């Protein structure tokens, strides 16, 4: 087995990403691309494709971790020419600390095109839309080029591979709102309205974009699909031996490590391997104190949890969520109260304003944290923060998961860093800042 073949077998998502830029359509095919699409369109029915993806144990890589094949199965089964349906790739990537989809979009956009083609065939959608973060200018250019090449070579358009299946993809550069990570808000924004979540039911799989059945999947999720179809569900499961979840995932870290970044690793690897082996460990003079395992909307875990296996069930059992799989590290020199204030400032700004608990509650949380950090806080403010966690933190108390996500780091932070909160109140401000 050559080095290229070994890389493709062990880290299929990133094997074609290199310093020379993304592969064009021909180079992508020579390196093993389009095999999954050929098998799907020539040898399998749409239901068989869904079964293959379900058996692979691929779970959504956008944060929720829902079974991909199971989600596809909820779409009505009518063929594409009998009923209008849409496939939407969520490439907005607004979760703080997360940059994995950008790596895939810029490094190998043809992989996403193939994944969307297969997914579109599985749910019998004739049109795909990439909802792209507006600031991703390089990704936009490379996606447009990849889609144009795929059209020219017959991988997009009418009667692909003589299968009778028609499919095309368009890129939509978004205005950018964090709330578009919620799929119904994304669909509302695509329709040209203010990005706000919708009541469910109907769920998007039945009544989504312009009232038509619609499937929204994360970029990394869709990029896994070609490899599953090319190599089989059992191969994908075996990429993560011992893990209840299949495949590899882009894991990464940001914070005071020697080499911040993202790396493709098997599902279920311990976070210690990501931090120490991939990122080179903490910088000299810094010690890890706690971390958010999957972006800003996940709960803090302390440094004693560094050996936790990075899969959905294990991280949830530990009291947090795997989320996007890119951890934000808190070191012993950083102020946790200041970090929480910064996070809650972001969440308060990004509330869509639709429901009162989120619209008014998150700015109130931010003001309380600002007062504590700046020296005007009162002891009762800790009780008020805990009240907000209790009232808007549980799912179902607000219209969508935005506020519960915002409360996850705060709830865990109030427990883990209570001594720091009390020091701020006793010393009338941030002790670290005053000592500087």
| 282: three-class secondary structure by DSSP | strand
- pLDDT, tens digit (0-9, with 9 covering 90-100), for 297-318: 999 999 999 999 999 999 999 9
Q: Are 16 and 264 in contact (CB under 8 A)?
A: no
Which 3 state secondary structure label does DSSP give 13?
coil
**What pLDDT, in 10s, does the model give residues 51-96?**
999 999 999 998 888 999 999 999 998 887 778 999 999 999 999 9
Place of tokens 């883990």: 416
**DSSP letter string, 383-429:** HHHHHHHHHHSSTTSSSSSHHHHHHHHHHHHHHHTHHHHHHHHHHTS
Secondary structure letter of residue 283 according to DSSP: P
Give the Cα separation of 66 and 348 in Å (integer): 27
Instruction: Give the residue-averaged pLDDT of 120-128.
Output: 96
pLDDT tens column, 326-371: 999 999 999 999 999 999 999 999 999 889 999 999 999 999 999 9
User: Which pLDDT band, with edges at 50, 70 and 90, does 10 fall under?
Assistant: confident
Query: Which tokens belong to 103?
Result: 């790596």
User: Residue 203 and residue 196: Cα distance in Å, rounded?
Assistant: 15
Q: Tally Cβ neighbours within 10 Å of residue 196.
A: 18
Buried b (16+ CB within 10 A) or exposed e, 363-374: bebbbbbbbbbe
* For the chain, percent of residues with pLDDT exceeding 70: 97
Position 176 confidence tier, pLDDT thresholds 50, 70, 90: confident
DSSP state, 242?
Answer: T
Residues found in the chain: 436
247 Cα distance to chain centroid: 16
Q: Are 361 and 388 in contact (CB under 8 A)?
A: yes
Tens of pLDDT, residues 32-54 = 999 999 999 999 999 999 999 99
E runs forming strands in 64-156: 86-91, 127-132
Residue 141, pLDDT > 90, answer yes
Q: What is the mean pLDDT of residues 124-143?
A: 96
3-state percent breakdown (helix, strand, coil) of the chain, nearest 5: 50, 15, 40
Question: Is the per-residue pLDDT at 187 higher than 60?
Answer: yes
The pLDDT tens digits of the residues spanning 285-299 come to 999 999 999 999 999
434 pLDDT above the threshold of 80:
no
Over residues 216-238, the pLDDT tens digits come to: 999 999 999 999 999 999 999 99
Cβ within 8 Å of residue 159, ≥6 positions away: 165, 166
Cβ(417)–Cβ(337) under 8 Å? yes
Would you say residue 433 has pLDDT above 90? no
In this structure, the strands spanning 86-91 and 127-132 are parallel
Q: What pLDDT score was predicted for residue 379?
A: 93
pLDDT of residue 167: 97
Above pLDDT 90, what percent of the chain? 88
Task: Name the 3-class secondary structure at 379.
Answer: coil
Q: Look at residue 91 and give its three-state secondary structure.
A: strand
| The pLDDT value given to residue 80 | 76
Q: What are phi and psi of 418, to 5 degrees?
A: -60, -40
Q: Which residues pair with 67 in a beta bridge?
A: 59
> How much is the mean pLDDT over the chain?
94
Domains and CATH numbers, the chain: 3-238 (3.40.50.11540), 251-331 (3.10.20.600), 336-435 (1.20.1440.230)
How large is the angle between the packed helices 219-231 and 109-123, nearest 10 degrees? 80
- pTM to 2 decimal places: 0.94
Alpha helices in 124-217 (DSSP H): 137-152, 183-190
What's residue 282's pLDDT?
A: 97
- Cα–Cα distance for residue pair 363/352, rounded to 1 Å: 12
pLDDT class of 7 with cuts at 50, 70, 90: low
Measured CA to CA, the distance from residue 203 to residue 182 in angstroms comes to: 12
Which positions ≥6 away from 349 have C-beta within 8 Å? none
Contact between 303 and 416 under an 8 Å Cβ cutoff? The reply is no
Q: Which pLDDT band, with edges at 50, 70 and 90, does 383 fall under?
A: very high
Residue 136 and residue 102 in contact, taking contact as beta carbons nearer than 8 Å: yes
Q: Please say if the pLDDT value at position 5 is more than 70.
A: no
User: What tens digit of pLDDT does each residue of 149-166 get?
Assistant: 999 999 999 999 999 999
Instruction: Calculate mean pLDDT across residues 121-138.
Output: 96
Distances (CA, A) of 307 to 116, 202, 280: 35, 41, 16
Distance from C-alpha of 337 to C-alpha of 417, rounded to nearest angstrom: 8
The residues pairing with 59 across neighbouring beta strands, listed in sequence order, are 67
Nearest to 266 by CA among 295, 246, 281: 246
Contact of 168 with 157, CB cutoff 8 Å = yes
């Amino acid at each position: 087995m050559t080095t290229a073949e070994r890389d493709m077998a062990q880290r299929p998502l990133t094997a074609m990403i290199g310093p020379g830029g993304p592969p064009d359509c021909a180079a992508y095919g020579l390196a093993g691309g389009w095999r999954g699409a050929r098998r799907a369109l020539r040898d399998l029915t749409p239901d068989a494709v869904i079964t293959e993806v379900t058996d692979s144990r691929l779970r959504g890589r956008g944060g929720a971790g829902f079974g991909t094949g199971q989600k596809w199965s909820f779409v009505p089964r009518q063929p594409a020419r009998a009923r209008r349906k849409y496939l939407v790739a969520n490439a907005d990537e607004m979760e703080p600390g997360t940059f994995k989809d950008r790596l895939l979009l810029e490094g190998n956009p043809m992989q996403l095109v193939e994944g969307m083609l297969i997914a579109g065939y599985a749910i019998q959608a004739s049109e795909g839309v990439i909802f792209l973060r507006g600031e991703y200018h390089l990704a936009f250019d490379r996606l447009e080029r990849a889609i144009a090449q795929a059209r020219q070579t017959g991988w997009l358009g009418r009667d692909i591979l003589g299968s009778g299946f028609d499919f095309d993809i368009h890129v939509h550069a978004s205005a950018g709102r964090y709330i578009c990570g919620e799929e119904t808000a994304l669909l509302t924004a695509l329709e040209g309205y203010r990005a706000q979540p919708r009541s469910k039911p109907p769920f998007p799989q039945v009544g989504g974009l312009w009232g038509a059945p619609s499937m929204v999947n994360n970029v990394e999720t869709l990029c896994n699909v070609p490899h599953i179809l090319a190599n089989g569900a059992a191969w994908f499961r075996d990429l993560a031996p011992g893990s209840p979840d299949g495949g590899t995932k882009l894991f990464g870290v940001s914070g005071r490590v020697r080499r911040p970044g993202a790396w493709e690793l098997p599902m279920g690897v311990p976070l210690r391997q990501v931090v120490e082996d991939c990122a080179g460990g903490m910088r000299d003079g810094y010690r890890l104190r706690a971390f958010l395992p999957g972006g800003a909307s996940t709960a803090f875990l302390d440094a004693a949890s560094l050996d936790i296996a990075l899969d959905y069930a294990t991280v949830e059992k530990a009291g947090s969520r795997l989320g996007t799989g890119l951890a934000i590290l808190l070191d012993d020199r950083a102020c946790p109260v200041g970090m929480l204030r910064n996070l809650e400032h972001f969440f308060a700004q990004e509330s869509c304003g639709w429901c009162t608990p989120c619209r008014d509650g998150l700015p109130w949380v931010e003001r309380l944290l600002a007062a504590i950090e700046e020296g005007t806080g009162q002891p009762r403010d800790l009780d008020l923060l805990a009240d907000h966690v209790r009232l808007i933190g549980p799912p179902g108390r607000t219209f969508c998961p935005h506020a519960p996500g915002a409360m996850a780091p705060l709830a865990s932070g109030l427990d883990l860093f209570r001594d720091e909160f009390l020091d701020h109140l006793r010393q009338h401000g941030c002790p670290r800042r005053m000592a500087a």
